[in-house]
Amino acid sequence: MTQNTETNMLLARIADALDRLAPPPPRATQLDSADAFVWHAAPEGLEPVHKVNRVDVGLLKGIENQRQTLLDNTRRFAQGLPANNALLWGARGTGKSSLVKAVHAAVNAELPSAIALVEIHREDIPTLPRLLSLVRNSSRRCLLFCDDLSFEGQDQAYKSLKAVLDGGVEGRPENVVLYATSNRRHLLSRDMIENEQSTAINPGEATEEKVSLSDRFGLWLGFHNLDQPTFFAIIEGYAEAYGLDVSVENIRAQAIEWSVTRGSRSGRVAWQFIQDLAGRQGKTLA
C-alpha cells in the first residue's frame, strides 16, 4: 500500500468522523402543513401539531372581558392590521393558556388557516431570534405562544426576549405576535429584582430595567381566582356540552366537595372534576 493511499484512507476516516459529529441539518419549515407547531431548538425546526389540546372558546366562563379583548386583538392580527403582544398573567389554573389556544381556533374558524400557532418552550427563549428569522419571510401570520413564562436567579434570557419584542435592529416581524402566560405580572421573581437592587449603583435603574420587560407587552390581561357562582357556571357548561347526566343540585354538591379537597376553585379544578364525573358515568370527553 503506497503512502498516498494510506493518507487518503486516513483522510476519509477523519471526514466520516466529522460528519458524525456535525449537527443534523435543520428541519424543513413548512408553515402551511398545519395550523399549530412546536418549535424545537435542537435540532432546530417546527414540528406540526395536527390535534391541539384545547376547549371551545364558549366554554371559558368568568373571563369574558379577557376573552373579548384577546379575540379582538387576534382578529386584527389575522386581518393584517396592527396588533399587540399580550401577557396573560395571574392565578394558576384560571384559563390563561386555554384562552390563547381557544382564541386561535376561533379566529381560524372565521378566517381559515389565517394564523399558525407556534409554541416555544420557556427554556428555548434564547433561540427566539432564530425562530423569527425562519418565519419572518413567510406569507403566513404566526402567533408565537410561550406558556408559563418567568425568569429566576441569574437567568439572562429575558434580555433576548426584550430585544425581540420591540427592540433590536430588525425588530419584531410584521407577521408575528407573541402571547405569553405567567403567574407573575412582571415575569421576574422578587428575589431576582431584589438582588439587582442590592448590587446596582442605582437600585432604581436596576428595577426599571427588569420591570421594562413586561412593559413591552401591549396587552396585560389579569386572571384571578373564581367565585363560587362562576365555578358552578364553568362546571355546568362543561356538563351540558359533553352530555353528562346529572341534576344541577347534585353536580353543585359534588363540585363543592371536589373544590374543598383541592383547596381552590379554578377552571383547571373544574375540568378535573368533569373528567372524574365523566369517567364515573362511563362517558368520553370527545
What would the pLDDT profile of 64-92 be if each residue is shown by its tens digit? Answer: 999 999 999 999 999 999 999 999 999 88
Helix (H, G, I), strand (E, B) or coil at 81: coil
Distances from the Cα of 175 to the Cαs of 84, 118, 121, in angstroms? 12, 12, 20
164 close to 176: Cβ distance less than 8 angstroms: no
Q: Which DSSP symbol is given to 140?
A: S
What is the C-alpha separation between 58 and 65, in angstroms, rounded? 13
- Asked whether residue 95 is domain-assigned, the answer is yes
DSSP state, residue 121: -
Asked if 133 contacts 107 with a C-beta cutoff of 8 angstroms, the reply is: no
Domain boundary among 223, 238, 272: 223
Integer Cα distance of 271 and 277 in angstroms: 10
Q: Return d(Cα 241, Cα 60) in angstroms, integer.
A: 12
Rounded distance between C-alpha atoms, residue 280 and residue 173, angstroms:
49
Residue 20 lies in a domain: no
Q: What is the structure's pLDDT at 76?
A: 97
The 10s digit of each residue's pLDDT in 212-254 is: 677 788 899 999 888 999 999 999 999 999 999 999 999 999 9
The span from the CA of 170 to the CA of 202, in Å, is: 30
In a shared domain, residues 75 and 213: yes
Alpha carbon of 154 to those of 122, 158, 185, 201: distances in Å? 15, 10, 19, 18
Do 205 and 246 have their domain in common?
no
Q: What are phi and psi of 48, to 5 degrees?
A: -65, 145
- Shared domain check, 218 and 239: no
* Alpha helices (H) in 139-202, listed in sequence order: 157-166, 190-199
Please give the DSSP secondary-structure letter assigned to residue 2. -
218, 85 in Cβ contact below 8 A? yes
* End position of a domain, from candidates 206, 223, 240: 223
Residue 207, domain member (yes or no): yes
Dist. CA 210–CA 162, nearest whole Å: 10
Q: Name the residue with higher pLDDT: 142 or 44.
A: 142
Residue 125 and residue 232 in one domain: no
The Cα–Cα gap between 251 and 236 comes to 8
pLDDT for 215 equals 78
CATH label of the domain that carries residue 110: 3.40.50.300
Same-domain pairing of 119 and 261: no
pTM of the model: 0.80
**Domain housing 236:** 228-280
Count of structural domains, the chain: 2
Q: What is the pLDDT of residue 228?
A: 94
Residue 206 predicted with pLDDT over 60:
no
